[in-house]
Amino acid sequence: MKKKSILIYFGITLIIAAHNSFSSIASDSKENKFRREVKAQMVNIDSVKISCYETAKYYIIGKEVHERLGTDFLIKYKVQPNLKFQCTYSPDKNDFEIKNEWAEYYAGIKGDLLLLDSSTGPGPSGLTIWDLQKRKKVFEGSWSDAEESGDGTLVYWLETGVATENNCPKLKEWMSHGLSGAIETKVILNLSNFRITLTKETRCSPRQ
């Protein structure tokens, strides 16, 4: 199934992707609310898509896994902000490599934190956060419909309850089409300690 798009761009990020010749592409309207200033380019290398994301501290190279869903990531560390790298997946001894596990795709970067989304269809998807400075995984969970937020937080919807005909008016209609439902709550994830705070906003969402 086609991956649900939840690309999130924070701060000034340069994106380069691999395709044969370089060409600029416009960002999807759904992505616009998350980006500040994004440049995108694409080329093709042996029919394998490569995407590159640049910040002042990191140069992140994502290579789609051949004949599978997901992405391998290679992180190169900048000793100075204007250091330039080529958008090619060529590991060096000082690089940090994150291998695809659960069909992960790039979702965004906040400071030292790399956000990966493992969505492959409708409904909530997996959220994995890596601390690039510490070179380790620091958070795993699920999320839906992430919203723009401050540098120290993530705001998104999290499944928190069971849908019934009493709390979900559309459940009966969904079930007639072979779907189910779930109650979701808007939450705030603190990116310093990874504690989740539930807000008072809830909704009912369909499930496959």
Residues pairing with 41 in the sheet: 16, 24
**pLDDT tens, residue by residue, 120-139:** 666 789 999 999 999 999 99
User: Is 13 a residue whose pLDDT tops 60?
Assistant: no
Task: Tell me what pLDDT residue 124 has.
Answer: 87
Task: Tell me what pLDDT residue 183 has.
Answer: 95
Task: Tell me what pLDDT residue 123 has.
Answer: 73
Q: Which domains does the chain have, with CATH numbers?
A: 1-145 (2.40.128), 149-208 (no CATH)
Q: pTM score, two decimals?
A: 0.79
End-to-end CA distance of the chain: 13
Contact 41, 49 (CB under 8 A): no
User: Do β-strands 58-64 and 71-77 pair in parallel, antiparallel, or remain unpaired?
Assistant: antiparallel
What CA–CA distance (Å, rounded) separates 6 from 162?
24
Contact 10, 31 (CB under 8 A): no
Among 30-34, 44-48, 168-172, 194-198, whose mean pLDDT is lowest? 30-34
